[in-house]
Structure 1
């Protein structure tokens, strides 16, 4: 079937390109280590500020999207990414990090709202048997942004490896992120979107501020959300270690960009490969979840084992005065392969997490809140991790923390997987209060009253 504007897949692809241009560029910038600066302290402090506000607005993001809709919330949120990238130009010229840290805090607000809207679209628009595929389509497009963002510093700094990214790279990021913000306006009102079987993606009741506040509070006593909490907390914790202590500490600037091309490329491969399992009708949903859990478990233990081996090779803390260039194959091959495998593991982890959440319900409003909770608790872990980097906690201790946190998340992750039902509650049959739900009118937002 060809793509139509109001088709659910078309909308997932559009939001994928928004994230390609906004968080995709942010990921590329972050992946260079320290926001592309020789000294990562400013970038680490900015990320701490970012994830601190992200904690709050991640949790609140689902309610905000339910109240105001997806188009304008994504549009406004996109510009916070451009502000953050642009702040590094000021840092380049003044050496003062205050603006970058403030821009990080503002980005946390925008990112929390944007990701709640994105997650709601990605996991509630497809049919149950298509959720793994839609997650993969999104993840491929989104991480293509990281690939392109890796090409920029690699190409621009190829013959001028100064240690920090040039103004030209940051300006390119700002332009692309502004384009992503405007692309948010291209999204269709959810009330008009249909699945490929002709069903509406939106069949929920109207909401208001009081209801949203109450439903957000309920998340913190929901056994399934509490079961996912360790997984949420861990799911971005490892970025500080991977970006700063492997890519940022071991490699020169152009090689960091080179590495990110393959890091984010591996994310595309990982999400696509896992989708074949997550949507495989030959297995029950619970069995698919258990197998995917096993894959994630093995992959991350291999990654952390490889990281320990790398640490033992560079026991001084992975900080090299003679940084590795990609052309020095004898030194570069092993660390680059490990870094690329980190990207593959991240895609497996994130795709699996989104699939679990999508398997818990088909309700747009409920899934917006679930995704918001996931992103909020994820950012809580991220804020702590980036501050560990800013405080120069030893690389070995950061590695141990990552491995231990993953181990802690395993039992509760398996508990939630074991609770997955073969079919989520059909939309339109019953809601939390037991009443029958109603379809949207022509309003865009999930929370706008008629």
Structure 2
């Protein structure tokens, strides 16, 4: 394989993210409105349990695809899924009847979920420990900012036609960028430099490794938190009745990324202290959401200001949960295969199940909110234990979480210069 410098590899990945996620997210709100008008089944899929179920199942597929097929194939599949969905958006302007639009949306969700597992894994594995929060925050900020710009700039329904064509063009460009990404799999630590080598994992080995990870102590402590937080946020019952509420939610998401990203990046020289800062901020946002919605549920009169405040804090809480959980996973492992398994399970599969359980609760009932608050409090104890055990020694607790007979030493110094690229991210 031809050697690529870290700067070149990082530039290629950033270009892919900017084109596929940046441009696509900017134009997606307007283009989706056009498709939703022609196909009401699309809206039903988005707001009901099938959408969350697809995300949960796709998280497992993302783990297998990242570790077995490799990021290059995942990026190609994500681009093809985007092209298929964008084609449906373009065709929808001609008002052609057919239920295949829902199938295209399912393919898009699968591709987007698999792509998310791959990109988050790369961003948590490439950089050094002090850069993980910064890189992940940059990625999340870009996604939230592009969605916000789409809501602000493309409010006119007539802009949906041009937006659909623009999204299709962006996905085609991303398809051309993906083959330039180097194959990525097992990461080995070599004198402070990450060596990214092509992996040898097979499907059965990956399934076995995933099952082995599920029985680890860290997984047992993190999973309850990642299930209870989305369940709690889903039981809040926050809706977006007007355009202002949507903007406030997106603005809260951006603020949450900036605040928590700053604390996790340069909040302290001690890694455990930064983790405790992140845990405190995330827990505080969740508590404020619960208190605000509890007050709104008990008051008969309309408290507009409190509702908008709850929407802002809800956006901050969602982004904080995602960023904080990613930082915790990145602080436990520098092994790309193990990281992919923890990212897929704890950031997509388990949260999807939590949201699915929340959607099954009785709409408008008060008891799910209090049950969710109690479960989130219990789940937070496990996450607090994990954060408290994080140290500055870089022991990489999860670097050896593999089936017997396939242990990889996190301090191994073997390099593979003929078939690998050095991925030391200069950020």
TM-score (ref. length: structure 2):
0.77
Partner of 1:53: 54
Residue 297 in structure 1 maps to residue 297 in structure 2: no
Cα distance, 1:99 vs structure 2: 4.0
| 2:258 is aligned with 1:265 | no
Secondary structure of the corresponding residue to residue 200 of structure 1: strand
Partners in 1 of 2:313 and 2:86 — Cα distance? 27
Matched with 2:425 is none
Q: Distance in 1 between matches of 2:32 and 2:229?
A: 16
Secondary structure of the corresponding residue to residue 279 of structure 2: helix
TM-superposed deviation, 1:351: 0.9
Contact 2:271–2:391, Cα closer than 8 Å, also in 1 = yes
Q: Distance in 1 between matches of 2:180 and 2:231?
A: 31
**Cα drift, residue 144 of structure 1:** 1.4
| Change in CA separation of 1:358 and 1:309 when aligned onto 2, cut-off 3 Å | same
What SS is found at the alignment partner of 1:246?
coil
Q: Does 1:384 align with 2:357?
A: yes
Structure 2 equivalent of residue 365 of structure 1: 337
Partner of 1:246: 239
CA distance in 1, matches of 2:315, 2:213: 30
Distance, in Å, in 2 between the alignment partners of 1:100 and 1:230 is: 35
Q: Deviations over 1:4-28 (max 9, x none)?
A: 87356545634542333457776x5
Counterpart-to-counterpart distance in 2, 1:91 and 1:314: 44
Residues 237, 16 of structure 1: alpha-carbon distance in 2 compared, 3 angstrom cutoff: farther
Q: Distance in 2 between matches of 1:337 and 1:398?
A: 21
Is residue 408 of structure 1 aligned with residue 378 of structure 2? yes
Structure 1 residue 305, shift from structure 2 partner: 1.3
The match for 2:388 among 418, 434, 449 is: 418
Q: Is the 8 A contact 1:7 1:194 kept in 2?
A: no
Deviation at 1:173, TM superposition (A): 7.8
Is 1:43–2:43 an aligned residue pair? yes
Distance 1:263 1:94, change over 3 A: same
In the superposition, relative to structure 1, how do residues 148 and 381 fare at CA in structure 2: closer, same or farther (>3 Å)? same
Deviation at 1:362, TM superposition (A): 0.8
Name the CA distance, whole Å, in 2 between partners of 1:68 and 1:420: 31
Spell out the pairing of 1:25-424 with structure 2 (5 A cutoff).
43-46=43-46, 48-81=49-82, 83=84, 98-152=99-153, 155-157=155-157, 168=161, 171=164, 174-175=167-168, 178=171, 181-182=174-175, 185=178, 188-190=181-183, 199-202=193-196, 206-237=200-231, 245-247=238-240, 250-251=241-242, 255=243, 258-280=244-266, 282-313=268-299, 333-374=305-346, 375-388=348-361, 393-394=363-364, 396-397=366-367, 399-400=369-370, 402-424=372-394
Say which SS state the counterpart of residue 81 (structure 2) adopts: helix
Following TM superposition, by how much is the alpha carbon of 1:381 offset from its aligned partner in structure 2, in angstroms? 2.0
1:146 match: secondary structure: helix
Q: Where do 5+ consecutive residues of structure 1 fail to align?
A: 161-165, 319-330, 446-450
Deviations 1:47-81 (A, max 9, x none): 53233233233123222112222133123224435
Residue deviations 1:226-282 (CA, integer Å, cap 9, x gap): 21112222454466567x7421xx32xxx1xx4434422332332222223213374
Distance (whole Å) between structure 2 residues aligned to residue 51 and residue 221 of structure 1: 25
Normalised by the length of structure 1, the TM-score is 0.73
Secondary structure at the aligned position of 2:194 is classed as: coil
Shift of 1:286: 1.8
Cα 1:30–1:137, aligned 2, differ >3 Å: closer, same or farther? Answer: same
Deviations 1:371-394 (A, max 9, x none): 111222222223333455xxx622
Root-mean-square deviation (CA, aligned residues, Å) is 4.3
Q: CA deviation at 1:189?
A: 0.8
Please give the secondary structure, in 2, of the residue aligned with 1:266.
helix
Shift of 1:398: 5.2
Distance 1:31 1:404 in 2: 37
Asked if 1:20 corresponds to 2:26, the answer is no
